[in-house]
Amino acid sequence: MTAIESIGLTKHYSRGKIKALTDFNVSVEKGSIFSLLGPNGAGKTTLFRLLLGIALPTKGEGTILGKNIIDPEARKNVGYLSEDHRLPGYLNGEQFLYYYGKMSGVSNYDLSQKIPVLLKKVKLDDRKSLKLKKYSKGMLQRLGTAQALINDPEIIFLDEPTDGIDPIGRIEIREILLDLKKDGKTIFINSHLLSEVERISDEIAILKQGVLIKKGKTSDFLESTGRYHISVEQEKINSLIEIFKRRNIDHEIMENGFSAAISGTKELNDLIDDIRKERIDIENVEHLKNSLEDYFIKVLK
């Protein structure tokens, strides 16, 4: 089932001089994690603003769980972490979640149950009484993520969720997102952190100057280099080189082993048979693939 759909969504400012988003089509499956990538100014936040009814499209339309994005009903089941959000410094963490929960129509009883769970989830339960003006950037970001979940939404829009969060905090956010996916939630992320996106997304779209330039499954972006990393026990390295030469396999020394050009599974397994026939212990075989970062740089440079 489709959770989010956009058909020809377009937003132009200044009488068409600024083309923030042009003819954007996307369909996000329910229960999936979809990431939108693109350099600064590519139109990612604009798309969120259109889908969430914060800005009106110049052209095109969209739906959230089948409801038209211009209908406020479309936002009933939605959570949103905005980019560069400013949280009121005079509230503490617990008050903030209460305040936002009330605005989302959550009952007092539900809030009394949910707030402690969410604070624990984002590891702020020991800071719940601290005023937000004393929170660090990462703490504010984690609280913002908890806020996006306060109404137990089906669909969660996160604009740069790991912005300002340290590496351990990022892993924690990643785990929260994967847990939400396990619960069947749909997550739409805008991000610059390609290694994070590569790890958690089912599908990815890349925007450049408001135009979609590629969309597909995450695996489509991680292209094979046609090479494998192979390492064997230290004292048998010369025997391995002999095998490469015999089989006419192009090979290069890499850190802790070799990179070898291998056309596919059959050639790889024939090579492994040869190596094992000579009683050489294999320590590692790894298919070398381009990262999302390699792809991103290639298409955007």
Ligand X SMILES: Nc1ncnc2c1ncn2[C@@H]1O[C@H](COP(=O)(O)OP(=O)(O)OP(=O)(O)O)[C@@H](O)[C@H]1O
Cβ 106 vs Cβ 151: under 8 Å: yes
Establish if 267 lies at the interface with Mg ion (CB under 5 A): no
Angle at 5 between CA 56 and CA 64, to 5 degrees: 75
Nearer to ligand X, 83 or 293 (CB): 83
Number of residues that bind ligand X (CB under 6 A): 12
Measure the N-to-C terminal CA separation of the chain; round to a whole number of Å. 35
Establish if 56 lies at the interface with ligand X (CB under 6 A): no
Establish if 45 lies at the interface with Mg ion (CB under 5 A): yes
Establish if 213 lies at the interface with ligand X (CB under 6 A): no
Cβ partners under 8 Å of residue 198, min gap 6:
218, 221, 222, 291, 292
Cα–Cα distances in Å, from 33 out to 4, 200, 260, 293, 294? 11, 7, 34, 18, 21
Residue 93 contact partner, candidates Mg ion, ligand X, none, CB within 5 to 8 A by sort of partner:
none
Kindly report the backbone phi and psi dihedral angles of residue 104, in degrees, each rounded to the nearest multiple of 5, phi listed first.
-85, 0
- Quick one: which segment of 8-16, 40-48, 128-136, 292-300 binds Mg ion (CB under 5 A)? 40-48
Nearer to Mg ion, 83 or 110 (CB): 83
Give the bridge partners for 258, in sequence order: 230, 253
Distance in angstroms (rounded) separating the CA atoms of residues 119 and 117: 6
Residue 142 contact partner, candidates ligand X, Mg ion, none, CB within 5 to 8 A by sort of partner:
none
What is the secondary structure of 174-224 as a DSSP string?
HHHHHHHHHTT-EEEEE-S-HHHHHHH-SEEEEEETTEEEEEEEHHHHS-E
Residues 266-295 within binding reach of ligand X (CB under 6 A)? none
Nearest distance from C-beta of residue 15 to ligand X, angstroms: 11
CA dihedral of 84, 34, 166, 135, whole degrees rounded to 10 = 40
Among 6, 22, 35, 45, binds ligand X (CB under 6 A): 45
Establish if 46 lies at the interface with ligand X (CB under 6 A): yes
Residues 66-125 within binding reach of Mg ion (CB under 5 A)? 83
Distance in angstroms (rounded) separating the CA atoms of residues 4 and 157: 11
Establish if 83 lies at the interface with ligand X (CB under 6 A): yes
- Token pair, residue 202, equals 């089912």
Nearer to ligand X, 182 or 301 (CB): 301
Site string for ligand X, 18-37 (x = CB under 6 A): x-x-----------------
Nearer to Mg ion, 83 or 267 (CB): 83
Chain residues in the site for ligand X (CB under 6 A)? 13, 18, 20, 38, 40-46, 83
Chain residues in the site for Mg ion (CB under 5 A)? 44-45, 83
